[in-house]
Amino acid sequence: MPETTAAERPLVEAFVGLGANLGDAAAQVRQALVWLDELPGTRVQSASRLWRSAPLQADGPDYCNAVASLVTTLTAPALLAALQALEARAGRQRPYRNAPRTLDLDLLLYGQGRIDSPTLTVPHPRLLQRAFVLVPLAEVAPQRVSPEALRAVADQPLWPWA
């Protein structure tokens, strides 16, 4: 049976978490939104405002965070590979776990799908533990975030990016 091409696949709504805390973090996040919109078969539907958060379980400058809602014909593994390529394009280094970064792109949700593979877990495994993900996700997709989930992370400091 022939493989389907990206153009033949249905559109899937996906949500991507964006973050940066090296260099001009806000500019990096804004640039990443442009790059996401340029991915094949992909369009950014909406993005949250930018949020500031302290590094979680790490040192370094505060993070600039956001969440983008996309529609894409890319498969989840292809979208993950594209996100990692954009991180590399932004100069992302991975010297150690939770190291400061020029750009971090996490595939949070992919349609209604659940994926558990060695390279990809969707929904993102720490999605419900992070205010810097849940608050911006609630801005772009309030139906995807329960009030209970927001209350559970209410003690994590988060401020609008100035």
Q: Which residues are catalytic?
A: 92, 101, 104, 106
Tokens of 51: 């949020």
**Is residue 132 within 8 Å of 153, Cβ to Cβ?**
no
Tokens of 46: 């909406």
Q: Are strands 159-160 and 51-53 parallel, antiparallel or unpaired?
A: antiparallel
Q: Enumerate helices (H) and strands (E) in the chain, giving the number of each.
A: 4, 8
Q: Which has the closest alpha carbon to 42: 72, 64, 62, 12?
A: 72
The single-letter DSSP state of residue 3 is: P
